[in-house]
């Protein structure tokens, strides 16, 4: 459900972008500028909000949001809204972590963007009416997939140079449209819940016109800065927070090896670098890295392979600065399957690396 909520939130972000861009166009005309988009518009993130509602176990509705948004409309009328997915805020720390690692896979896809190309004529009468409801196309880039969608938004001219863009009705988004189905399954298994694969989003965004070309350059620089992660503990984690994170990391399925090999695939580095950071923030704790295989092949070979794969992960962690005595490895071979070895997908899930805090 968190997953769905996030999708929705993204959708309404894009709606916001569309609305904002349109409003900007109109305001530009109202001020009698030759280019209504000059010198540019900037999203006022502190005064903007994007909320999404997800449903789990059929009846429980939860509301979440993103803490860090940025956006602008350039002089050509190209409106862009950026969502820092690490800033997902579900009001619960470990739920945020699940969303980042299991659903959005932010270690690989840290940002979602919404873009729309605006034309000055769209809001030519906004100055007289002050509010307009429009349905516009936009491009949502999420999880490595770009889709063209449409949204209904309300654009309101609050004052000269300030425009509000909001959802005129809840927006529905499907996880399947962005290949997030697998992420939903991971969330369901991690939290032992069922999650509706679609959700609704609402938003309220505020844009202001920049006063000079210099402001436009400064706004662009600000847009690219790293967002603050919602509800993330600063500094070291508690023991319980560490345990929870390693349990979640064990479900990512983003550590890859060659077929029948213990050699790490380079694409595993993204998640492993995130794991290095978490281990560093769990000082004094010893971490177990365990290897698991499916049931194909000889049991003895699978046992050996699982041990070597766990050792390969340890080698990466220690090469990245983690003390050797803080990492222990073990191979379980095919003895602890996460799911039955009866399908290709299940066998893939059973070929995994898990992490756990070693109890004293």
Does 272 map to a domain?
yes
Mean pLDDT of the chain: 85
Residues 184 and 210 occupy one common structural domain = yes
**CA 139 → CA 17, 48, 117, 233, 348, distances in Å?**
10, 20, 10, 33, 33
**CA dist., res. 37 & res. 25, Å (int):** 6
* pLDDT of 34: 58
- Number of separate domains in the chain: 2
Q: What is the pLDDT of residues 115-169, one digit of tens each?
A: 888 777 777 777 777 888 889 888 999 999 999 998 898 888 888 888 888 888 8
Q: Among all chains, which residue has been given the structure tokens 């988009």?
A: 37
Residues 275 and 137 occupy one common structural domain = no
**pTM (2 decimals)?**
0.84
Does 69 map to a domain?
yes
Asked if 104 and 85 count as a contact pair (C-beta separation under 8 A), the reply is yes
Instruction: Give the CATH number of the domain where residue 304 resides.
Output: 3.30.1330.60
Exposure pattern of 115-138 as b/e (b: 16+ CB <10 Å)?
bbebebebbeebeeeeebebebeb
The helix (H) or strand (E) run that includes residue 331 is strand 327-331
Asked if 104 and 119 count as a contact pair (C-beta separation under 8 A), the reply is no
Average pLDDT rounded to a whole number, residues 259-264? 94
Q: Does position 188 have pLDDT exceeding 80, yes or no?
A: yes
* pLDDT of 299: 96
Residues 138 and 269 occupy one common structural domain = no
Look at 104 and 11; give whichever has higher pLDDT: 104
Residues 68 and 153 occupy one common structural domain = yes
Look up the domain containing 264 and give its range: 239-357
Residues in the chain: 360
Residues 218 and 259 occupy one common structural domain = no
Looking at 169, 197, 223, the residue that finishes a domain is 223
Q: Which tokens in the block code for residue 339? A: 């799911």
Instruction: Give the CATH number of the domain where residue 180 resides.
Output: 2.40.128.110
Does 130 map to a domain?
yes
Does 232 map to a domain?
no
Cα atoms found within 13 Å of the Cα of residue 256, Cβ hemisphere only: 9
* Coil, strand or helix at 26: helix
**CA 257 → CA 37, 206, 308, 317, distances in Å?**
50, 47, 11, 16
Q: Among all chains, which residue has been given the structure tokens 């005064």?
A: 47
Q: What is the pLDDT of residues 27-55, one digit of tens each?
A: 443 444 457 678 888 999 999 988 889 99
């Amino acid at each position: 459900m968190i997953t769905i909520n996030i999708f929705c939130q993204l959708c309404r972000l894009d709606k916001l972008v569309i609305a904002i861009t349109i409003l900007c166009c109109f305001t530009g005309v109202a001020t009698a500028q030759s280019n209504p988009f000059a010198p540019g518009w900037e999203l006022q993130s502190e005064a903007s909000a994007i909320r999404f509602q997800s449903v789990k176990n059929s009846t429980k509705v939860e509301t979440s949001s993103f803490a860090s948004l940025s956006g602008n409309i350039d002089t050509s009328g190209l409106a862009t809204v950026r969502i820092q997915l690490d800033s997902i805020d579900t009001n619960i720390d470990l739920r945020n972590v699940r969303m980042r690692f299991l659903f959005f896979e932010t270690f690989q896809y840290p940002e979602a963007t919404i873009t729309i190309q605006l034309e000055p004529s769209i809001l030519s009468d906004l100055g007289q009416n002050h509010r307009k409801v429009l349905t516009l196309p936009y491009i949502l880039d999420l999880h490595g997939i770009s889709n063209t969608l449409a949204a209904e938004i309300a654009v309101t001219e609050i004052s000269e140079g300030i425009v509000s863009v909001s959802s005129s009705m809840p927006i529905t988004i499907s996880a399947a449209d962005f290949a997030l189905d697998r992420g939903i399954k991971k969330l369901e298994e991690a939290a032992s819940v069922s999650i509706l694969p679609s959700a609704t989003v609402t938003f309220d965004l505020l844009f202001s016109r920049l006063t000079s070309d210099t402001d436009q350059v400064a706004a662009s620089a600000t847009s690219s800065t790293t967002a603050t992660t919602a509800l993330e503990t600063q500094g070291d984690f508690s023991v319980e927070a560490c345990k929870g994170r390693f349990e979640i990391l064990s479900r990512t399925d983003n550590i890859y090896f060659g077929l029948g090999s213990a050699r790490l695939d380079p694409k595993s580095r993204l998640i492993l670098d995130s794991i290095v950071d978490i281990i560093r923030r769990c000082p004094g704790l010893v971490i177990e890295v365990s290897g698991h295989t499916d049931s194909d092949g000889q049991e003895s070979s699978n046992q050996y392979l699982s041990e070597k794969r766990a050792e390969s992960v340890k080698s990466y962690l220690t090469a990245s600065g983690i003390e050797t005595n803080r990492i222990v490895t073990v191979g379980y071979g095919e003895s602890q399957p996460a799911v039955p070895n009866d399908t290709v997908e299940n066998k893939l899930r059973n070929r995994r690396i898990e992490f756990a805090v070693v109890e004293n």
